[in-house]
Chain A
Amino acid sequence: MAGVAVSTTINGDSIEYLCQPDETLLDVLRDRLGLTGAKEGCGTGDCGACSIILDDRLVCSCLVLGAEAEGRRVETIEGMAHGDTLHPLQQKFLEHAALQCGICTPGFLIAAKDLLAKNPDPTEEEIRFGLAGNLCRCTGYDKIVRAVQDAANVMKGA
């Protein structure tokens, strides 16, 4: 199998890598680039733990080939904070204890960021349906929804 050479942009940085044609972008991020913030919970697009933003679209990186990232923009959890300043969603997740084990947290944060980018003032129902592609087994979602609501308020005021 011949490797595929890929030039892409990840969290604003130009990145080049070689990957196998059947290798997912999630595997490239985790195993080749050391960006282990995106998690593999299922590998089939059912849990959202590997969520990233690809050219302004929220996607599961387990359902994208590494080769497909050529010439595109990838945003991962590692690019969410600005230096040592957390994104309001990250801060509110901490304040509301919106995580217990934390394995789903990077995916939720990316999905919530995408949600608020498209809908800055969501209702509870819109948040719940907007985040339905991200499974959390610890929290019952209550504190996650509250953290997103609180972050939305902060971001509107900003």
Chain B
Amino acid sequence: MNFDPRYSGRNFTSVGTRPIRPDGVDKVTGRARYGADFNMAGQLVGRVLRSPHAHATIRKIDTSKAEKLPGVKAVITAADLPDLTDGDAAMYDILDNCMARKKALYDGHAVAAVAAVDARTARQALKLIEVDYEVLPHVTDVDEAMKHSAPVLNDTIFTEGVEEKPARPSNVTTRTQYGHGDIHKGFGQADYVVERSFKTEQTHQGYIEPHACVANVSSDGTADLWVCTQGHFVYRQHCAQLLGMEASKLRVTSSEIGGGFGGKTHVWAEPVALALSRKAGRPVKLVMTRDEVFRASGPTSATSIDVRIGASKDGTITAAEATLRYSCGPYAGMWAEIGAMTAFACYRLENVKTVGYEVLVNRPKTAAYRAPSAPMAAFAVESTVDELAKEIGIDPVEFRIRNAAQEGTRSSYGPVYGPIGIGPTLEAAKNHPHMKAPLGKNQGRGMACGFWFNFGGQTCTDLNIGMDGSVSLAVGTVDVGGSRASLSLVAAEELGIAYEQVKAVVADTSSLGYNDMTDGSRGTFSSSMATISAARNAIKILRERAAQTWDIPVEDVVWEKGHAIAKGEKYGNLAALSLREIAAASGKTGGPIAGHSELVADGAGVSFATHICDIEVDPETGATRVLRYTVVQDAGKAVHPTYVEGQYQGGAAQGIGWALNEEYIYGKDGRLQNPGFLDYRIPVCSDLPMIDTQILEIPNPNHPYGVRGVGETSIVPPLAAIANAVSNAAGVRMTHIPMSPPRILAAIEAERGG
């Protein structure tokens, strides 16, 4: 049956309610099994040796002493993970990042690994591995790395995206450009032009669960991997490719996941665990320490951004321009490109140009972090928008409303928008009581907007109806924050049965077709689409079985409220058949009843949010306090509103941490100074106020229920909203994130000193 994903207005029974999640009891009783909670008989402990140098040639690795230590069962280096990537540059980078081949490219880069009978032996073995390094000059700052004088990380990199191939290699891998119109003309029409430069420091997703896996490679070429991941199918592909296995022979089971936020979309140590298991012939459990998570998983980019915006006296933006430089770690990425795409996405612009530069530095490989690249661009743009509004003398909310993108606007990154939520979130913010609440001394209010694309992607779902009428839903998108509840609601809605009749599970890679990972805010969007499709397929069979029972044409059977109903007066004597009744008889009417769905969920509706916050600044110390915070965001349709609120609140909290305190701090030696939760300061409970949320529902035309992804957009506005609030409170424009107390105090003192 062809699946029609278009939105059709309907009244919901289950969708929009707030039931308890199906995996809840296990999680409040300690029974839920996360990455490190699984063990196998005879398992070994895996540990990784990491480079203490930011940049060094690996001349030689001598593992002989470690191999001789009693209890050590395998020692591996890059030689045990030969290059099978066959010219696939992105996969080669992943391989090299998992185990350094010729050079260590950052403090924490894996150079060898061991598997031993216990943790103590493994630790001792690491100390016995001798690595002969030739230490090279390093660079960790994004602006420094772009200079001609900077040490070059990879001499095969010649900047792409420029008209002429550069004469010499550099750390700039790619230049990208977006926009339309003529900015020179636009700036010529401007009565006011504001130009500012900004920096943001590197942050980490900060999931509480470190990466963990148990790998078991059998001598017959099959293998199992238990792992905390946002995408077990992607992990399977990557691990199989790097280890030279057939994908179908590697079964990957996703554990419960203790937070990912983009950081568990990428293999870091899993291929290493598999290689150790293969060599040792035993299962290997590999759990990163917190120190390793910070040093050697994938934080976000550090950035340096210039923004210039011009407007006419009446408050219309005439031109907008941004240059964005994003650090990628030692391997090419497309982080600046995403920043360049999102920077001005909130606005209706005739003349806009953004240029992005991807920059290599001696830091860990950048990975996605919740709406990756967008928060930094929004910080720079929304700060400049505030400054420009001030120059013109227009209220910053009004200024944004006047220039907000709308249906039919050509976005700054190309596509023309359908129905979107930027205008409505701004209007809601304008009318929110928060906007009118009085402020005290040293307090300031800020607001900002944010945009995220959202993503759909490949999705596969099975819906099986048991003979007792209960429904098991097997999905392939990892549940990172309650999606089993929302998908159960969707199945219940479509089938017309109670939520409690549905049980959703995340299936392993051998039980279901390929699924893209849970990223791009796609979990509920795409899997709900697949669930609706699977349910509709199951309904078709349910109707057929009813028709068979009644011996009438299937065309005369409709499905309503969980029942097959024979339609038409001639069937007046036929009582409706419930799903339970049809299921109970299924053994005699043709066997098990199931619905399947394999689709590419296109049409993830773009998402917008507006945030408001109040901050108090202590002018003597630069200390800040978040007094009040409000999130307004379009959800399309909130399937489980409580978990939608949770996404809004969680994104805001991460953004608050990023804005105020979180940052990677490197020493002059290129080593990370703060690889722990003591000095990488994520917000604690007493740092935050309640976070108010307002859910707007502007249906996504490309989803049957109007659903849009909600997970990521909420982290986009906070950096800017807080920067605007701090700047208003402190009386000085803050241009460097995080706005830590020393930076705020220095800015205040500089302003005072004139």
Contacts and interface: CB of A to CB of B under 8 A. Distances in A.
A135 B650 CA distance: 12
Contacts of A66: none
A94 B289 contact: no
A80 B208 contact: no
A101 B481 CA distance: 5
A67 B685 CA distance: 32
A63 to B, nearest CB: 13
B216 to A, nearest CB: 18
B646 A39 contact: no
Given A128-B685, A137-B259, A41 B29 contact: no
Contacts, number: 177
A7 interface: no
A44 to B, nearest CB: 6
A106 B206 CA distance: 18
Given A78-B30, A90-B29, A137-B259, A41 B686 contact: no
A125 B686 CA distance: 7
B349 interface: no
B208 A137 contact: yes
A10 interface: no
Nearest to A79: B30
A47 interface: yes
B692 to A, nearest CB: 9
Given A37-B30, A94-B28, A100-B480, A137 B690 contact: no
B25 A86 contact: yes
B226 to A, nearest CB: 13
Contacts of A104: 208, 258
A96 B256 CA distance: 20
B269 to A, nearest CB: 16
Interface string B645-658: 11001101110000
Contacts of A106: 28, 30
B259 A103 contact: yes
Contacts of A47: 208, 290, 677
Contact of B209 (A96, A103, A125): A103
Contacts of A41: 208-210, 258, 290, 677
B207 interface: yes
A134 interface: yes
A20 B121 CA distance: 13
Contact of A36 (B24, B33, B290, B643): B33
B281 interface: no
A43 interface: yes
Given A37-B30, A138-B646, A103 B208 contact: yes
Interface residues of B, number: 55
B480 A135 contact: no
Interface in A41-55: 41-44, 46-47, 49
Contact of A139 (B27, B31, B646): B646
A12 interface: no
A99 interface: yes
A145 interface: yes
Contact of A102 (B18, B20, B258, B654): B258
Contacts of A135: 208, 677, 682, 684
A138 B259 CA distance: 7
Contacts of A38: 30
B495 interface: no
Given A36-B37, A144-B685, A137 B207 contact: yes
A102 B290 contact: no
A10 to B, nearest CB: 13
B501 interface: no
B354 to A, nearest CB: 30
Contact of B649 (A35, A76, A139): A139
Q: Which 6 pairs between the two chains have the least Cβ-Cβ distance? A: A37-B30, A103-B258, A140-B653, A102-B27, A140-B649, A77-B30
Given A94-B28, A137-B650, 8 more contacts: A36-B30, A43-B290, A46-B677, A47-B290, A137-B261, A138-B259, A140-B688, A143-B649
11 contacts: A36-B33, A36-B37, A44-B290, A46-B677, A46-B678, A100-B259, A104-B258, A127-B685, A129-B685, A140-B649, A140-B653
